[in-house]
Amino acid sequence: MKNIYLAFIITLPLNAFSQTTTPTPSASPAITLRTLDLVSLCTTKNLDIPLTVVDHNGFCENYLKMDSEGIAKSTLQNLNQKVNSEKCATDPKGKSVTVGDQWKVRFYASHSFTTYFNSNVKFKSSRYDLEVKNYEWKERSSREYFLPKTWKEPGNNPFQMIDEPSNTFVVSLEKNGNEFFLSAFHPKVTMGENKGRDVVGTVDGTNITGTQDLRYDFYAHPEYQARPAGDPGMAANNTTHKAMIFTGGYGHRFNLLENKKIGTLTYVPSVDAGLFVGQNYSAVLKKDAWWDFDNHQAPYGVIGYGGGVSNRIELNSPKERFGLFYQNKLSAYKVKQDFLDGKQTYTQTIMQNEIGFKFMIYNPANHKKRVPAGSL
């Protein structure tokens, strides 16, 4: 069957042609071409020319059997479509053949300039039963770990730039413009100043309603003074340690510009969904205390779920072995995580502006099989 398939490929672009000579006034023979089907060629019937078919490998016998079963015609039609869609090129060493588009593997790495939008948060614990409107979150970027002077400080090293800042790593599979990917993003979010927030509920049994600063202002009390009743007294509410957002998604690649010498400019819109994992650290002044805190380090685990949409622009080198990119991503996650001995619930909305680089891990087009000249 392999030999028959190969024979189809050989005979398909060539077909079979017969030559006939027709006298002309100039007495020079004119050559006309007439297409022959393989049935006529194998049976030597209706050829109108002297022709002897020598078939050592039984091709005609097998072909005529397939033709009688209706298989040969459909096979030739399929091969014709395939050959026409293939991109073939020759060089002095032989022939390179690419049979359509195949799966490509890419790797992306980027740093994120991240905005965490304010949200309404509900706190519920033995000390808190409080809802805060427009709770302020902020980024802890840790970009100082990109600087060589930070690497030289005691206890530091260059490899910390992989973990400490808000980086994103992506592996993608793409074929025919359809891209499927897995992403790992390291968010670093902490509580903001949270001055003048609208609150309603109770703290340590005291009702508080209206505008309230959530942090206790130590600098407003240069001498010892216990925290006033009803003051929230928050000192920390951070999700930075081991925090990760793992997502899977789909995008489609559109080449905006393409040049063999310069490279390509590609636009990729995408959507994704996944899980927010991490562990929260919270600290609050104890009741009637000053510089004495209740602390809680949450266990590591899933704290939320959600998804996002993104738009990416890539500038790729020829054959796309290397590239630079910018991506904007907007995502939202429903979060439920620890706060002291209770829970806090809110929606974490995130805007990422990412700048990074990419590598082509594997592209079959860059690893074409070479067929020695004359082997076909």
CB 214 within 8 A of CB 282: no
Q: What's the confidence (pLDDT) of residue 360?
A: 94
Q: What's the confidence (pLDDT) of residue 281?
A: 94
d(CA 294, CA 234): 10
Rounded alpha-carbon distances, angstroms, from residue 84 to 12, 94, 97, 316: 11, 20, 12, 28
Q: What's the confidence (pLDDT) of residue 123?
A: 97
d(CA 217, CA 235): 10
Tally of CB atoms within 10 A around 30: 10
- 369-372 long-range Cβ contacts below 8 angstroms, 24+ apart: 369/96, 369/97, 370/93, 370/94, 370/95, 370/96, 371/94, 371/95, 371/96, 371/97, 372/93, 372/94
Q: What's the confidence (pLDDT) of residue 57?
A: 67
The token pair at 4 is 């028959």
pLDDT in tens, the chain (376 residues): 444 444 444 444 334 343 444 444 544 555 555 555 666 667 666 666 666 667 666 777 777 777 766 666 666 666 655 544 444 444 444 444 444 678 999 999 999 999 999 999 999 999 999 999 999 999 987 777 777 877 778 877 777 777 788 899 999 999 999 999 999 999 999 999 999 999 999 999 999 999 999 987 776 666 666 777 788 889 999 998 889 999 999 999 999 999 988 899 999 999 999 999 999 999 999 888 878 899 999 999 999 999 999 999 999 999 889 999 999 999 999 999 999 999 999 999 999 999 999 999 998 877 655 444 444 4
In this structure, is the dihedral angle defined by the CA atoms of residues 356, 242, 330 and 252, taken in order, positive or negative? positive
d(CA 170, CA 107): 6
Cβ-count burial of 202 within 10 angstroms (0-12 exposed, 13-18 middle, 19+ buried)?
middle
Half-sphere exposure of 170 (CA within 13 A, CB side): 30
Interhelix angle 59-68/71-85, nearest 10 degrees: 110
Of 281, 262, 370, 274, whose CA–CA distance to 331 is shortest?
274
With residues binned 3-state (H G I as helix, E B as strand, rest as coil), the percentages for the chain, rounded to 5, are 15, 50, 30
Q: What's the confidence (pLDDT) of residue 154?
A: 86
pTM of the predicted model, to two decimals?
0.69
d(CA 201, CA 199): 7
Max CA distance (Å), the chain: 123
CB 49 within 8 A of CB 18: yes
CB 119 within 8 A of CB 133: no
Q: What's the confidence (pLDDT) of residue 165?
A: 85
